[in-house]
Amino acid sequence: MNRRCPKPRQDSPYLGSKNVTPHFEKVRQLLRQLPGLGHRSAERLALYLLVEKPEKLKPIVEALEQASQVVHRCSRCGSLTETELCEVCADAKREPHSLCIVEQVPDLMAIERSQAHRGTYHVLHGRLSPINGVGPNDLNLSSLEKRIQSEPITEVVLALGNDIEAEATCHYLLELIHGIKPKIKVSRIGFGLPSGSGLTFADVATLRSALEGRRDVGT
């Protein structure tokens, strides 16, 4: 009876520690610190830029260096801008009475694509997470307090995700807002969004439905 010879073991497409140089390993480890990049994704990206398509590396590095000099947070809402105010805050046609609060800039961009909100925004740059050491002082709340006090806001829409941390953040925001102006209407977006998900990857129709189906909180 003939035995089959075992197939020779093929090398993994991912590099082990013995196959990389110190500089490559440093790049890989730095890329792993970026959101959404695990070990394999960081390794693929490092290989792509350093070995497979090195001609693409220089334009990316130059663009990042240039952007780091001019891109910063909007002084009013916390979104991205290259001037003092972002495009939304500088737009006189936006509805000044309606303020939409989001966790991150990509959430703002997603809602803008839906065209369901014509007011202004405020970006928290995170949410309360005691387990991860994120408290109120770590969020963009000081400028929010100033806006509630000084702007003609009559409605605040809480456009945060659908999980325990987002729920706790919404409760904190409700108390903060009503502590300054009790008569402000505070609503939260309805959830055609899956439980435990955020806004960034939701489709336009889902975001529109969620915003149109917002409900009052704290009443």
pLDDT digit string (tens) for the chain, length 219 residues: 455 555 544 444 555 556 678 999 999 999 999 988 999 999 999 999 999 999 999 999 999 999 999 999 999 999 999 999 999 999 999 999 999 999 999 999 999 999 999 999 999 999 999 999 999 999 999 999 999 999 999 999 999 988 889 999 999 999 999 999 999 999 998 777 666 677 787 778 678 777 877 777 765
For the domain 17-70, what is the CATH superfamily, name and number? RecR Domain 1 (1.10.8.420)
> What integer pLDDT is reported at residue 216 of this predicted model?
77
- For residues 146 and 153, what is the distance between their CA atoms, to the nearest angstrom? 11
* CATH assignment of 73-216, among 3.40.190.10, 3.40.605.10, 3.40.1360.10, 3.40.50.280: 3.40.1360.10
Q: Residue 63 carries which DSSP code?
A: H
Closest by CA position to 101, among listed 51, 171, 54: 171
> What integer pLDDT is reported at residue 81 of this predicted model?
97
> What integer pLDDT is reported at residue 5 of this predicted model?
53
C-alpha distance from residue 52 to each of 56, 59, 108 (Å): 9, 15, 35
> What integer pLDDT is reported at residue 215 of this predicted model?
72
